[in-house]
Structure 1
Amino acid sequence: MNDTLAPLFEPWTIGSLTIKNRIVMTSMGGTDLFGWMEKNHFDRAGAEFLLEVAKHDAGLVLPGCQPVYNPMFGQWLHKNKKMYRDLAAWMPVFHATGAKLFVQLTAGFGRSFTISPLMEALYTNPVLRAAAKPVMDLERICAAPSPSPNRWSDKVPSREITKPEIDQIIESFAESSRLLKEAGVDGVEVHAVHEGYLLDQFALKYVNKRTDEYGGSLENRYRFAAEIVRAIKRACGDDFPVSIRYSVESKTKGLRQGALPGEQFVEAGRDMAESIEAARNLADAGCDMFNCDNGTYDAWYWAHPPIYMPKNCNLGDVAELRRHIDVPVVCAGRMEPADAAAAIAEKRIDAAGFARPFLADPAWVSKLKAGREADIRPCILCHNGCFNMCHYKGVANDQDLMDSLHLARCAVNAETMQASRHYVKPTSSPKMIHIVGGGIGGMECARVLALRGHHPVIHERGERLGGVFVAAAQASYKDKMRDLLAWYERQMVQLNVDVRLSDEVRDITELDGPVVVATGSTPRTLPIPGIELAHEACDYLENPPAAQRVVVVGGGLTGCEVAYDAALEGRDVEIVEMADDLVAQKGVCLANSSYLREWFAWKQVPVHLETTLAGIARAEDAGLRVSCRHADGTTFVIEADAVVTATGYTPAPLARSGRGVRLVGDCNGVGNLRSVIWRAYDVAMKL
């Protein structure tokens, strides 16, 4: 292990509890011990994932947040005693790893509850609303401190939560915590003043307009959270640790308006001065630890940082809070291990929180400790598998139901939380299997085939592995994607995969045995005059021209990322998009898409929505004239030096799937990295 990382592996204490090292796995929805969006029960799949993390040297492990009032079927968490008995039987197995376990409890979601189009239909139809109430009571689930618009939908508003409901929540926190303590759990975390969930909404002036003892002054707005902490301490004793999940600053300009790193703005939520006073108030109530980041659902990219956010994005604010309070502080949010170790050594924070890296590689801490950083499969901060709650203009949470019910899966690791579907089964009849195409899909297929005992051969027509992913990883901020590409290339070497570069296969009948076709896709070409003057997005990323004025045609994720990178380089960028919003596509998390939309607005990048490209022509000054047409038929021209098209792709299979032939990657159907990797894994397991 690199000596600079040593501070991460020093013991520390929370109250009277000693933790073996300073690496904390923070909560992620879907890694729950008592089920997620289903009837409460002891969840074996969640327990197995948590145990795997604990076996690989995490110091403190926190399962996914557990609502004390279950959104599904309206169950109170403390009522099902059997699951606590099941938990008690499992805890000695967990504790044998040397790790400690805190269970995170949440009061609920309030106006942040992710509304889907189906939920909108249930709520807006009085008959359906009444019929659905025993299963999903949206009025109860979405209740907030004051009447408020939902983060995701204008059709399902939040009513004001009542005092009797507040009392019920406090009681359930206390009783659930008592049962958890009896089951052998080491502590609890109150998902409280964090991310714009219900308890945070009570704390935030722009949401909480109450005039009773839960509104107005700072003491009143934080009263709900403080009463929960006191109730837990009364039920469990002072020696039972209680952590608070805490957003140091809200980074929020108002309802559905976040503030980006470096942006000058007026804080609508919690600023540093209020945060320090509130944290002291909560510590006085009995809080033993603050598990910190920043943001709200209105500024979601702080709590769920996409790849565009700076590394260690919350560290400065968390370290400042630490200066003013006397209990341990954990910092989470794109934390880099070396930077976390340095901050711990300097006593700026007490421990470092990590979440999604454990989904990509549950063993990453053990590998880090052993000096095997190159073997860590990296999280690329895409949210495609773990948290792809998607939102764009006119659409509520555009997410498949299976994804809503199964969070905490991973785009780059098909096995995470899917052990019953994705697992390596050794073959009883090893074969040579030819893979045509050495992109991510081809390499994933080869990796799994090799682990099973087959002999994969990759035929790649280019001079290196990676396919289109090489271009996609070119942007300056995409270091994690370059790390993933390097990880795959290393896997090919370690598994002795036969890789044949500059080897173009034109006819698969020349190959003996099973064949996997992974030949990707081809860019769509717009049938407009002058299109030959444009650069396709991947070509532009790999060989950007010396162009100051750049027009990007296509405002989906690819186009927006091309425009973002060009703007970061100091180019003058304009975006032309035929839809009525940027990144109007399923599978892209709101944390990712809202960052891009708000960044372009902040930097005043011209965005032409509901606009199509009509033609490109050379200008007299050697530049280009880009003709565009609004949806109402009006036209305009943009002067440019380069045009980049990001208008989609078409599958380009070398051969059709059939007997002895399988398709993986975009040649099977254009998708994202998750669909490529999961499909490749499935195919490799069936050969």
Structure 2
Amino acid sequence: MKRFENLFKPIKIGTVNIKNRIAMAPMNDFHQFFDGIEGTINQRCIDYYVERAKGEIGLIISMVFKTEEEITQYRDNGMLIWDIITKRSQERYAELAKYVHSYGTKIFFQLSAGPGRVAKGEIIDAGFVPVSASDNKAFFRPNVTCRALSIGEVEKIAESFGKAAEIISNAGIDGIEVHGHEGYLIDQFTTALWNRRKDKYGGDLQGRLTFPIEILKAIREKAGEDYPVIYRYGSKHFITDPWKSTTRLDDKEIGRDIDESIEMAKILEKAGYNCLHTDVGCYESAYWAHPPIYLPHGFSVDLTWKIKKAVNIPVIAVGRLGIPKIADKVLEEGKADIIAIGRDLLADPHWARKVKEGRLEDIRPCIGCHEGMYRTEVTGQYLTCALNPFCGNETSFSIKVTKESKKILIAGGGIAGMEAARIAQMRGHDVLLFEKTGNLGGQLIPASKPDFKGDIKRLLEYYQKQINKSKINIKFNTTVTPALIHKVNPDIVIVATGANPIIPKIGGIGRTNIVTCIDIYMGKKETGNDVIIVGGGLEGCELALMLAKDGKKVTIIEMLPKLEPDIHRANKAMLLDLLDENGVEVLTGTKVQEIIYDGVIVTDNDLNKRNVKADTVVIAVGMKPDKYLYNSLIGEPILTYEIGDCKDPRKILDAVWEANMVAATI
């Protein structure tokens, strides 16, 4: 039996033959992929999907398309937020289908009725009136009540799916996925929590499924009875109370639970859907729908399995299935018929090809950070990947072999230094990589130590293997100095010397009961049973979680009014829930005045002073850049670049992108 044979068996969805069992999961917020006024997809969009087709994906499920703008005009200052299916875009859809098909890949478009109660808050602020199945509170603006759609409006929305299906089927798109997941409008109709209607669209489960069944009928009427349609929905919402989630599978559920999801599957199959794509979560439980690094790989497969056993149509599983061994095992054990992977294909669009060729060490792993998505939400920049600057820029960026090879000295073997070395060597430069310790990895090494940071360990191993395979000249246990640079005489110097922990000026800071996060991660020092962590950023919160899981009594002391680790909302929500569920005490609005032999003296915002007892005090207030080498080269007649944390301590995305951009252009 060939390795991962199960992943590469063909399968059919309805009448469509798919060459393997690997699907690209739908991912949204790619606003760079369409014209915001007319909604026409652009060349950037086509290039993005074609790159994944080149990578041997069997089925691409596209980003979401809305089917109408008459009833729910969802725009921001006149610009579309979601792409919309229009006749004038048919030529572009046909072009996309043609290119994708040339690689043997099939493509389904995901269609949605819109956000409903989860419309963006700023759009509501601008005057948009959100709609829903019933008069629900808007998720992002709970002071706003959604308008319940009339029967006639719901019928018109269902009809719009038929019109959209006619356009895309005529363009050669192979099928449709109906988006009934994550608490969007269709999900609001199918879920009793949000649907309190007394008409044909409400009542029992059969009544609440009237909307997606009418959508299916409209599609078939316009695109043909044999046109394949997938229904995507959540097997479990993970809502324990209104507006609250849980990290535990067995907590009470007030949204949809697995038993109802099984009954849904039976009804949807009987109605004529050709395939089911099961996910979990919703906006109240964002980290289940957008799983961060803290969730294990394949976390929701057993829920999918329960649904698969109840139907005879193919069932697609999703949820951190980017480790080939896990993905193949899901299929081997019969828990799903197809596996869908999403962010792993942002990190490495050729995931499937590399698995097929047995090149697992060459797969760039997803680390579950959502950072490329986070930047989209915060700054409005295009959606991309922290580890892959070419994602969403498939033809704008490229690695070209240099016409003039240069000697490049790189100081620092952390992630920025390794990425710069890797890209520069690929381009044909003569690279010398210096690392002051005996190992490559820099801050990735301590960051990979907690058991819930296994993806960082995979990333570290990926870079170490890529550097070793490249035969880059590496000098370990060597600190780069101006004298060494003059001796080597490179054409270009890239400084990637990283950063060091900030040690604040607090009374008692020199006591023996004080340690840093890195001290603990690297095993240089141990903690007592009672631990205070000074600093409630990401570094402090993750260390607190690790220590609490080890049975320590942990208290985080943070000056700000609340813990605000600077990460994507889904990652942050889960991290804070995990801290709470593991008994971590949090003192916000609190400042450490002095460290004493048995703890710390703190003051709150009202200047009330008290002692907090602890055996160990951990300093986690951030990092400061190591600029010594870079500053010492100012004025030297040599081209010098500064990248990564030595420039400014930030995220993995910043280190990788800076390194990539510099190395790709010198």
| TM-score, normalising length: structure 2 | 0.92
Q: CA deviation at 1:214?
A: 2.6
1:80 aligned residue: 86
Residue of 544, 556, 560 corresponding to 1:575: 556
Q: CA deviation at 1:456?
A: 1.8
Q: CA deviation at 1:525?
A: 1.8
Further displaced range: 521-530 or 100-109: 521-530
- Structure 2: how far apart are the matches of 1:315 and 1:80? 36
2:453 aligned residue: 478
Contact 1:78 1:179 in 2 (8 A): no
Residue of 353, 361, 371 corresponding to 1:384: 371
- Structure 2: how far apart are the matches of 1:209 and 1:29? 29
Further displaced range: 599-608 or 174-183: 599-608
- Structure 2: how far apart are the matches of 1:207 and 1:634? 46
SS of residue paired to 1:138: coil
User: Does structure 1 residue 371 correspond to structure 2 residue 361?
Assistant: no
Further displaced range: 634-643 or 364-373: 634-643
User: Does structure 1 residue 25 correspond to structure 2 residue 18?
Assistant: no
Residue of 155, 170, 175 corresponding to 1:167: 155
Change (3 A) 1:665 1:673: same
User: Does structure 1 residue 259 correspond to structure 2 residue 246?
Assistant: yes
Change (3 A) 1:655 1:79: closer
Q: CA deviation at 1:34?
A: 6.3
Q: How many residues align?
A: 647
- Structure 1: how far apart are the matches of 2:562 and 2:198? 38
SS of residue paired to 2:603: strand
Residue of 498, 506, 509 corresponding to 1:531: 509
Matching residue's letter, 1:636: R
2:624 aligned residue: 650
- Structure 1: how far apart are the matches of 2:665 and 2:83? 41
- Structure 1: how far apart are the matches of 2:581 and 2:203? 32
- Structure 1: how far apart are the matches of 2:276 and 2:5? 23
Contact 2:492 2:639 in 1 (8 A): yes
Contact 2:33 2:44 in 1 (8 A): no
2:571 aligned residue: 592
Contact 2:346 2:388 in 1 (8 A): yes
Matching residue's letter, 2:546: D
Q: CA deviation at 1:55?
A: 1.8
User: Does structure 1 residue 675 correspond to structure 2 residue 643?
Assistant: no
Contact 1:253 1:259 in 2 (8 A): yes
Change (3 A) 1:417 1:89: closer
SS of residue paired to 1:655: helix
User: Does structure 1 residue 60 correspond to structure 2 residue 40?
Assistant: no
Matching residue's letter, 1:541: Y
Matching residue's letter, 1:638: V
> Deviation string for 1:436-477 (max 9, x for gaps)?
111100111111111222112111111111111111111112
Change (3 A) 1:640 1:78: closer
- Structure 2: how far apart are the matches of 1:497 and 1:242? 50
Q: CA deviation at 1:267?
A: 0.7
Contact 1:436 1:517 in 2 (8 A): yes
Residue of 298, 313, 318 corresponding to 1:327: 313
Contact 1:626 1:640 in 2 (8 A): yes
Q: CA deviation at 1:482?
A: 1.2
Matching residue's letter, 1:327: I
> Deviation string for 1:414-439 (max 9, x for gaps)?
11112354321322221101111111
> Deviation string for 1:233-275 (max 9, x for gaps)?
222222111001111111111332112134x432110012211
Q: CA deviation at 1:655?
A: 1.6
1:545 aligned residue: 526
Contact 2:86 2:167 in 1 (8 A): no
Matching residue's letter, 2:164: S
- Structure 2: how far apart are the matches of 1:169 and 1:304? 27
SS of residue paired to 2:289: coil
1:308 aligned residue: 294
Matching residue's letter, 2:211: F
- Structure 1: how far apart are the matches of 2:594 and 2:197? 56
- Structure 2: how far apart are the matches of 1:421 and 1:523? 37
Change (3 A) 1:151 1:226: same
Matching residue's letter, 1:648: G
Contact 2:536 2:563 in 1 (8 A): yes
- Structure 1: how far apart are the matches of 2:465 and 2:398? 21
Change (3 A) 1:280 1:161: same
Change (3 A) 1:644 1:45: same
Contact 1:33 1:44 in 2 (8 A): no
- Structure 1 residues without counterparts, runs of 5 or longer: 124-128, 130-136, 390-396, 619-623
Contact 1:530 1:617 in 2 (8 A): yes
Matching residue's letter, 2:560: A
- Structure 2: how far apart are the matches of 1:685 and 1:167? 53
Residue of 658, 661, 664 corresponding to 2:640: 661
> Deviation string for 1:625-673 (max 9, x for gaps)?
2222222222333322222221112222222477611110011122100
2:612 aligned residue: 638
- CA RMSD between the two structures: 2.3
User: Does structure 1 residue 444 correspond to structure 2 residue 430?
Assistant: no
Residue of 139, 149, 154 corresponding to 1:151: 139
- Structure 1: how far apart are the matches of 2:287 and 2:44? 28
- Structure 2: how far apart are the matches of 1:181 and 1:32? 23
Residue of 344, 358, 364 corresponding to 2:331: 344
- Structure 2 residues without counterparts, runs of 5 or longer: none
Q: CA deviation at 1:21?
A: 0.9
- Structure 2: how far apart are the matches of 1:663 and 1:210? 61
Q: CA deviation at 1:38?
A: 5.9
2:495 aligned residue: 517
User: Does structure 1 residue 607 correspond to structure 2 residue 586?
Assistant: yes
> Deviation string for 1:192-242 (max 9, x for gaps)?
1x1111211222233333343333322232222222122112222221110
Instruction: Report sequence identity in percent.
Output: 32
Contact 2:36 2:83 in 1 (8 A): no
- Structure 2: how far apart are the matches of 1:445 and 1:667? 14
SS of residue paired to 1:613: strand
- Structure 1: how far apart are the matches of 2:529 and 2:14? 57
Contact 2:64 2:83 in 1 (8 A): no
Contact 2:230 2:277 in 1 (8 A): yes
- Structure 1: how far apart are the matches of 2:345 and 2:330? 21
Contact 1:422 1:681 in 2 (8 A): no
SS of residue paired to 2:131: coil
Further displaced range: 71-80 or 36-45: 71-80
Matching residue's letter, 2:472: V
Matching residue's letter, 1:167: E
- Structure 1: how far apart are the matches of 2:117 and 2:593? 42
Contact 2:291 2:320 in 1 (8 A): yes
Where in structure 2 are the equivalents of 1:383-402 lying within 5 Å? 383-387=370-374, 399-402=378-381
> Deviation string for 1:530-562 (max 9, x for gaps)?
223421112221115052222222111111111
User: Does structure 1 residue 191 correspond to structure 2 residue 167?
Assistant: no
Residue of 182, 188, 193 corresponding to 1:206: 193
User: Does structure 1 residue 229 correspond to structure 2 residue 208?
Assistant: no
- Structure 1: how far apart are the matches of 2:216 and 2:33? 21
SS of residue paired to 1:478: helix
- Structure 1: how far apart are the matches of 2:184 and 2:84? 21
- Structure 1: how far apart are the matches of 2:390 and 2:139? 32
> Deviation string for 1:144-192 (max 9, x for gaps)?
2233344344566544344444233222211111111111111000011
Matching residue's letter, 1:571: K
> Deviation string for 1:21-51 (max 9, x for gaps)?
1111111115589628664113222221211
Change (3 A) 1:357 1:145: same
SS of residue paired to 1:63: strand
- Structure 2: how far apart are the matches of 1:400 and 1:634? 38
User: Does structure 1 residue 353 correspond to structure 2 residue 340?
Assistant: yes
1:496 aligned residue: 471
| TM-score, normalising length: structure 1 | 0.89
